[in-house]
Amino acid sequence: MLGGPIRKCRKLWPLLILPLALLLIVFTTKTYLDQNVSPQKIGFRSRTHQQEEYVDRNGIKVVVGHYIGPSVKKLPNASRDMINANDFAPVRGAGKDGRPVVIQPKDLLKMQQLFQINRFNLLASDRIPLNRSLPDVRRKKCRYLYEDYDTYPSSSVIIVFHNEAWSTLFRTVWSVINRSPRELLKEIILVDDASEREFLKTPLDEYVKSLPVTTKVIRNSKRVGLVKARLQGAARSFGEVLVFLDAHCECTRGWLESLLARIKQDRKTVVCPVIDIINDDSFAYVKSFELHWGALNWNLQFRWYTLGGRELKKRKMDTTEPFFTPTMAGGLFAVDREYFQEIGSYDEEMRIWGGENLELSFRIWQCGGKIEIVPCSHVGHLFRKSSPYTFPGGITKTLYSNLARVALVWMDEWAEFYFKFNENARNVRADQNVSSRLELRKRLKCKNFEWYLDNVWTQHFFPKKDRFFGRIKNLEEDLCLIKPLGKLNSNQPTGIAKLNECLKHDMIIEMFVMTKEGFVVTDDSICLDAPEKETDGVKTVRIMACNWANRQKWKYNEKTKEFIHVSNNLCLDVAPSKKYEDGLVITKCMNTDTQKWILEAVPWT
Ligand SMILES: *[C@@H]1O[C@H](CO)[C@@H](O)[C@H](O)[C@H]1NC(C)=O
Ligand SMILES: *[C@@H]1O[C@H](CO)[C@@H](O)[C@H](O)[C@H]1NC(C)=O
Ligand SMILES: *[C@@H]1O[C@H](CO)[C@@H](O)[C@H](O)[C@H]1NC(C)=O
Ligand SMILES: [Mn+2]
**Which residue's CA is the nearest one to ligand 3's atom 10?**
433
Q: What is the mean pLDDT of the chain?
A: 86
In this structure, the residues whose C-beta lies within 6 A of any atom of ligand 2 are 129-131
Residue of 469, 400, 455, 382 lying closest to 52 (CA atoms): 382
Taking the model in full, what pTM does it have?
A: 0.85
What atom of ligand 3 comes closest to residue 439's alpha carbon? 5
Q: Say how many Å lie between the CA of residue 351 and the centre of ligand 4.
A: 17
pLDDT by residue (tens digit) across 109-168?
899 889 989 999 999 999 999 999 999 999 999 999 999 999 999 999 999 999 999 999
**Which residue's CA is the nearest one to ligand 3's atom 12?**
433
What pLDDT was estimated at residue 14?
Answer: 47
What pLDDT was estimated at residue 46?
Answer: 26
**Which residue's CA is the nearest one to ligand 2's atom 2?**
131
Is the CB–ligand 3 distance for residue 435 below 6 Å? Answer: yes
Q: Using the predicted structure, report yes or no on whether residue 72 has a pLDDT greater than 50.
A: no
Residue 447: band (very low, low, confident or very high) from pLDDT cuts 50, 70, 90: very high
**Which residue's CA is the nearest one to ligand 2's atom 14?**
131
CA angle 260, 263, 268 (to 5 degrees): 155
Is the CB–ligand 3 distance for residue 48 below 6 Å? Answer: no
Q: Say how many Å lie between the CA of residue 405 and the centre of ligand 3.
A: 14
Q: Say how many Å lie between the CA of residue 53 and the centre of ligand 4.
A: 9
Q: Say how many Å lie between the CA of residue 166 and the centre of ligand 1.
A: 24
Percent of the chain beyond pLDDT 90?
70
pLDDT by residue (tens digit) across 371-430?
999 999 999 999 988 777 777 877 788 899 999 999 999 999 999 999 999 999 999 999
Is the CB–ligand 3 distance for residue 433 below 6 Å? Answer: yes
Give the phi and the psi of residue 574 in degrees, each rounded to 5: -80, 155
**Which residue's CA is the nearest one to ligand 2's atom 8?**
131
pLDDT by residue (tens digit) across 430-446?
999 999 999 999 999 99
- Strands 520-522 and 479-482 come out as unpaired
d(CA 124, CA 435): 48
For the segment 214-224, the average pLDDT, to the nearest whole number, is 96
3-state class (DSSP) for residue 268? coil
Residues 6+ apart with CB under 8 A from 329: 63, 65, 272, 275, 294, 302, 357
Is the CB–ligand 3 distance for residue 348 below 6 Å? Answer: no
What atom of ligand 3 comes closest to residue 436's alpha carbon? 5
CA angle 168, 169, 172 (to 5 degrees): 85
Is the CB–ligand 3 distance for residue 430 below 6 Å? Answer: no
Give the ligand whose atoms come closest to the C-alpha of residue 169. 4
CA angle 326, 331, 334 (to 5 degrees): 75
Q: Say how many Å lie between the CA of residue 408 and the centre of ligand 1.
A: 40
Q: Say how many Å lie between the CA of residue 433 and the centre of ligand 3.
A: 6
What atom of ligand 3 comes closest to residue 433's alpha carbon? 1
Residues with a beta carbon under 5 angstroms from ion ligand 4: 246, 331
What pLDDT was estimated at residue 210?
Answer: 97
Percent of the chain beyond pLDDT 70?
85
Residues 6+ apart with CB under 8 A from 563: 472, 554, 555, 556, 557, 571, 572, 595, 597
Structural element, H or E, at residue 473: strand 468-474
Is the CB–ligand 3 distance for residue 265 below 6 Å? Answer: no
Give the ligand whose atoms come closest to the C-alpha of residue 430. 3
Is the CB–ligand 3 distance for residue 605 below 6 Å? Answer: no
Least confident of 92-101, 151-160, 169-178, 348-357: 348-357
What pLDDT was estimated at residue 493?
Answer: 62
What atom of ligand 2 comes closest to residue 178's alpha carbon? 14
Give the ligand whose atoms come closest to the C-alpha of residue 438. 3
**Which residue's CA is the nearest one to ligand 3's atom 5?**
436
Query: Candidates 88, 131, 173, 211: which one to mutate for ligand 2, based on the most atoms within 8 Å of Cβ?
Result: 131
What pLDDT was estimated at residue 50?
Answer: 31
For the segment 466-473, the average pLDDT, to the nearest whole number, is 96
Signed CA dihedral, 123, 128, 130, 132: sign only: negative
pLDDT by residue (tens digit) across 180-205?
999 999 999 999 999 999 999 999 99
More confident residue, 10 or 253: 253
Q: Say how many Å lie between the CA of residue 401 and the centre of ligand 3.
A: 16
What atom of ligand 2 comes closest to residue 90's alpha carbon? 5
**Which residue's CA is the nearest one to ligand 2's atom 3?**
131
CB atoms under 10 Å from CB of 291, counted, come to 15
CA 324 to chain centre: 17
Is the CB–ligand 3 distance for residue 131 below 6 Å? Answer: no
Q: Say how many Å lie between the CA of residue 94 and the centre of ligand 2.
A: 13
